[in-house]
């Protein structure tokens, strides 16, 4: 049987605080809960998944650079770096993998500085405003995308 396609789920700065960080904006689900859900969901979809979080831009860039060797797609919530980081955009572009962008909150309903995302420039699509469920939706989209790539 062919090896399960692998998805790297990356979370950026301050997302380690989920559950206690502004719960009225981001909900009460912790990052550990989200990562456990991703593992369950991935298994159901026939995907392998690896979840990582860092507060450091350079660390995220390193992981994105390495992703090409071990993964077939990247699900990323780059947190505030989505709005600022050309380095993450460049790394994603170089990775040459499908990128699915997630935000727990609806960034377009919020402050104007959150409306633009560098990640969106390379993302296949973005899921925002559905809280923790966004990761599950992104994994589902990744599974379909990877399946259609394999058929092509
Ligand atoms: C976020 C939205 C960003 O604007 C913010 O800086 C975050 C979280 C979200 O998931 O809604 O850290 O990416």
Is the shortest distance between the CB of 105 and ligand 1 below 6 Å?
yes
Asked, for residue 1, whether it belongs to a domain, the answer is no
Which pair of structure tokens corresponds to residue 97? 């993998």
Is the shortest distance between the CB of 104 and ligand 1 below 6 Å?
yes
**Model pLDDT, residue 61:** 98
Is the shortest distance between the CB of 80 and ligand 1 below 6 Å?
yes
- Under 8 Å between Cβ of 26 and 18: yes
Task: Give catalytic status of residue 135 as yes or no.
Answer: no
Q: What are phi and psi of 108, to 5 degrees?
A: -80, -15
Asked, for residue 114, whether it belongs to a domain, the answer is yes
Domain count, the chain: 1
Asked, for residue 98, whether it belongs to a domain, the answer is yes
Q: Whose CA is nearest to atom 8 of ligand 1?
A: 79
108: CATH: 3.40.50.9100
Of 26, 81, 118, 135, the active-site residue reads 26
Task: Give catalytic status of residue 118 as yes or no.
Answer: no
Segments of the chain scoring below 70 in pLDDT: 1
Asked, for residue 47, whether it belongs to a domain, the answer is yes
Task: List the domain range (segments joined by +) for residue 116.
Answer: 6-151
121 Cβ partners below 8 Å, 6+ apart? 89
pLDDT digit string, tens, across residues 39-82: 999 999 999 999 999 999 999 999 999 999 999 999 999 999 99
Is the shortest distance between the CB of 114 and ligand 1 below 6 Å?
yes
């Amino acid at each position: 049987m062919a090896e399960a396609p692998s998805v790297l789920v990356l979370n950026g700065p301050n997302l380690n605080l989920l559950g206690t960080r502004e719960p009225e904006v981001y909900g009460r689900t912790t990052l550990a809960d989200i990562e456990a859900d991703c593992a369950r969901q991935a298994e159901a979809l026939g995907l392998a998944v690896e979840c990582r979080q860092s507060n450091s831009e350079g660390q995220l860039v390193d992981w994105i650079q390495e992703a090409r060797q071990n993964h077939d797609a990247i699900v990323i919530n780059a947190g505030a770096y989505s709005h600022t980081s050309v380095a993450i955009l460049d790394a994603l572009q170089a990775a040459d993998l499908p990128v699915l962008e997630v935000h727990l909150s609806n960034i377009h309903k919020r402050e104007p500085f959150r409306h633009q995302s560098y990640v969106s420039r390379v993302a296949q699509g973005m899921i925002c405003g559905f809280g923790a469920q966004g990761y599950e939706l992104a994994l589902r989209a990744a599974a379909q995308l990877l399946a259609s790539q394999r058929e092509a």
